[in-house]
Chains A and B, each alone.
Chain A
Amino acid sequence: MDAMMAIRQTFFQECEEQLAELENGLLAMQNGEADAETVNAVFRAVHSIKGGAGAFSLDDLVRFSHIFETTLDAVRSETLAPSPDVLKVLLRASDILADLVRAARDGGTVDAERSDAMAVELAALSGADKPAAEDQSEDMAGFSFQPVQVSFDELDDELPAFAELPETSWTIRFTPKPGLYAKANEAALLLRGLGELGEMIVACDFSTLPLLGELDPEGAYLTFVITLHTRADKAAIEAVFEFVEWDCDLSIEMSADTEPDGQALNLFALRDEMLPRVKEEGLASSVPAMSENQPEDRPDAPQAVDELGAATSGVAPRASLASAPAKAPFPETAASPAPASREGSQTGGQVAGESRMGERRENERRESTQAPAPAATIRVDLDRVDRLIDLVGELVINQAMLAQSVNEAGLTRGAAIGSGLDDLEQLTREIQDSVMAIRAQPVKSVFQRMPRLVREVAAMTGKSVRLVTSGENTEVDKTVIEKLSDPLTHMIRNAIDHGLEAPEARVAAGKAEEGIVHLCAMHRSGRIVIEISDDGAGINRPRVRQIAVDKGLIPADAALTDDEIDNLIFLPGFSTAATLSDISGRGVGMDVVRRSIQALGGRISISSRPGKGSTFTMSLPLTLAILDGMVVTVAGQTLVVPLTAIVETLQPRSVAVHEFGGDTRVIAIRDQFTPLIDVGRELAYRCETADVLASVVILVETEGGVRNALLVDAIQGQRQVVIKSLEANYRHVPGIAAATILGDGRVALILDVEALVASSRIGAPSDSVIPREDRKTPKEIDCYV
């Protein structure tokens, strides 16, 4: 990947962050939780996207974000009140902006009609007409940027062509208002920030300053007239004042006499240029400053003072070199408007985003005098983390092999080598945990895609819906997060489309017109649990049952509990909608959702209360890379039972086991009969029934709290195993979740307890986990083995 591609990639990564920021801010505003800073953040997000897009000549994106930004600016400057209606438009605009960003990234196209319509809507809100062509071109001027011509480190998201622009002189009039100081901003810091853009001369106009008796010490009376000679463009200068722009009067004008050849001016020339202009601006007579290079020997000083004494209106020019002072009396950079830059290598490529686009030499130079950027985070390419996880996995296997070798060599655990091995195991586990923590991410990244979905589905169904999320910061492995999006999307669609009633029906039922969908994540016993609940009508059980009967999914006389009826919706081919709607239809049923969750080692269940709503509960492993399991032997094979499923293990007594029609056996455990599943037979390792007395029972609990007893030959021990996908390396095997490599190098299969239990209950409604044809497969294989 070349450097430009790396920057581009970083830009899009940052766009995603900005879009998230934008949406969060808008949602906060919608909930009435917004303060001025939120509005600022929202504005900045769009502004940053526009800046970066300009750098890459993404014209559509620039155009739309410009209009969007203008509207947000109106909100910011309080000329447009953020009413609920306005926010709805802004939220939809953020959706379109996200589409444009993704289209720019992936090379797709966007519905131009839709974005144009939104542009008109936005422009109407801001009171501006849709920008005319010349307006746009003017706006684009600052971004006229040829990516290939720009070196990697001279880019800035505010000044994409910083190094390419010729030097320009700017005259800046900056008059702080009292509010600027009241908000803990400091004029001196802003001027210092400005000085870092180039060479500047400051003149202080204190003509409105009253005498001490009338002075409000916390007022603001000074005007600073700054002449700045810089390669930076207007946006960069504006950026210096970004945080104070409502708290000061500011005018930035380009001087007509910009040096055509881009050579740096010397300060004499600069001062000579600047002083007449100060006069022209009506600041009365000004004071000639002493030359920067002129020694300030005594004879000159009184002269300057004399002239000064004559200058009654008090305009004092000040010249300064562009270079930052060696000593910075204002170490705080809070008011510095330059975006926090992240230090990064410029080798580009592999660690995407190591170097932020807005890296500028100026910033680097400042590193020595300023505090480092507060966010101590780096972006690392996921491949690198995955590689690390793989290696740690190998380390775990290797450590297990070593332990086994030591064991086989007859060395006791008490020996020095034994304790060394224990330490190694401890360390390995810590490394593993730390590496997994690197990949753990809050589910927020998935959750924050949902508000948009809710808006869209609500608009399509004509329902009024509010999405409430909680537990967004619950962390889970990135691989799990990536796979959460689809099932969640489908379930939320389903909740709105099928769960929530139409507004009239809600009102008739005495509910608020606005339906609520609650999305919630939490950690529960080593798994992540995600609940999607709605306050709709709940599952129409008679109808669900009738459909299942009609479709031949269950016998007409099947006796089902409420819970079992609810779970019928997960059967393949089940669809309650009379006609496939645009929203939930799409050819995907809840069975697919269930399967995709099960493929992640997860479980899903539903509970419903008529008239009150339904709750879908998904429970997923925190990681897809490592599993705590119990290693067992079945018919000479080594299998792993996930520890999360195991309740207890026990040695059965013959009196406890009862035949129960045909081959089925149950075992009495604490006055309860529990189905006994012969794992060897179920997986077709053997045809004959296992001898219960020579076996071990593992009591497992599946989703919904149902207990079953697995019959295995022996327990080898408890171990952490590295999960290797069977699907990726072989194919899906019913009843088997994945595989692992044991210490001795052999492959062991990891049981899919849920699927195994389901497949053992032929005829039960929830046996949909393994389709009938699949279910027969292992037994058929058995006959050939």
Chain B
Amino acid sequence: MNTLPDSAAIATVALPAILDLRAATPLANALLASRGRELIIDAEQVQRLGGQCLQVLLSAALTWRADDIPLSISKPSPDFLEGLDLLGIRSVHMLEALSSHPGLNDPEQDGTVVLDKDLSR
């Protein structure tokens, strides 16, 4: 019944506080290193999101989707959500949905995604 993979197959990448242009390459490398495993991206610390890091995150979502492996965003900070919003990504779901893995898009399932009130301002 448990659809979640075992813990060894789950990778977690914690996003740094500042996702500016300097953070793009390290982020891409960190995500690439996790390729092939289910990925949880921890966005709790994020204070700032720039265009290039968004590209990396979107590309990761597309990649995981192509690999048909789940990807989820955990504990997105209000700043992270607002940064997505500003750059035209309506919600964290959208980012996740790109990976389009069934079972992980429902936030209640693993409790990692909480739609923040900030989004409904």
When distances are taken between beta carbons in the complex, the residues of chain B under 8 Å from A218 are 21, 24-25, 52
In the docked arrangement, what's the CA distance between A304 and B89, Å?
A: 12
**Given the complex, which residues of A lie within 8 Å of B121, measured CB to CB?**
292, 321
> Would you call B93 and A308 a contact (CB within 8 A)?
yes
Q: Which of these, B83, B93, B120, contacts A295 with CB under 8 Å?
A: B120
Q: Is the CB of B52 within 8 A of A202?
A: no
Residues of A within 8 A of B107 (CB): 298, 301
Residues of A within 8 A of B35 (CB): 212-213
Contact with B along A261-301 (1 / 0, CB 8 A): 00000000000000000000000000101101111101001
A305 touching B55 in the complex, CB below 8 Å, given contacts A203-B88, A318-B90, A330-B48: no
Q: Which of A186-194, A418-426, A538-546, A714-722 contacts B (4 or more CB under 8 A)?
A: A186-194
CA gap between A726 and B121 in the complex, in Å = 72
Asked whether B28 is an interface residue with its Cβ less than 8 Å from the other chain, the reply is yes
Q: Residues of B contacting A191 with CB < 8 Å? A: 86-87
Which B-chain residue is minimally distant from A181 (CB atoms)?
B21
A209 close to B (CB within 8 Å): yes
In the complex, what residue of chain A is closest to B34 when comparing beta carbons? A212
In the complex, whether A3 has a CB less than 8 A from a CB of chain B is: no
> What separation, in Å, do the CA atoms of A327 and B77 have in the docked complex?
13
Which of A188, A290, A293 contacts B90, CB < 8 Å?
A290
Docked CA distance A217–B82 (Å) = 22
Q: Which residue of A lies closest to B113 (CB)?
A: A301
Of the candidate stretches A6-14, A219-227, A408-416, A654-662, the one touching chain B is: A219-227
Q: Count of B residues near A, CB < 8 Å?
A: 50
Size of the chain A interface, CB-CB below 8 angstroms:
54
Output the least CB separation between B104 and chain A (Å): 11
- What is the minimal beta-carbon distance from A426 to any residue of chain B, in angstroms? 51
For B96, the chain A residues whose CB sits under 8 A away are: 305
Residue of B nearest to A226 (CB): B88
Instruction: Decide yes or no whether B97 CB sits under 8 A from chain A.
Output: yes
Contacts of B31 in A (CB 8 A): 212
A212-B63 contact, Cβ under 8 Å, with A296-B115, A305-B105: yes
Q: Could you mark each residue 200-222 of chain A with 1 if its beta carbon is under 8 Å from any beta carbon of chain B, else 0?
A: 00111010011111010111111
Complexed CA–CA distance, A318 and B25 (Å): 26
A187 partner residues in chain B, CB cutoff 8 A: 50-51, 87
Q: List B contacts of A215 (CB < 8 A).
A: 28, 55-56, 59
Interface check B14, CB cutoff 8 A: no
CB<8 Å pairs between A and B, sample of 5: A187-B50, A202-B87, A204-B54, A212-B60, A295-B120
The chain A residues found within 8 Å of chain B, CB to CB, are 176, 181-182, 184, 186-188, 191-192, 195, 202-204, 206, 209-213, 215, 217-222, 224-225, 287, 289-290, 292-296, 298, 301-302, 304-305, 308-309, 314, 316-321, 325, 327, 329-330
| B→A interface (CB under 8 Å) | 20-21, 24-25, 27-29, 31-32, 35, 47-52, 54-56, 58-60, 62-63, 66, 78-79, 82-83, 85-91, 93-94, 96-98, 100, 105-108, 115, 119-121
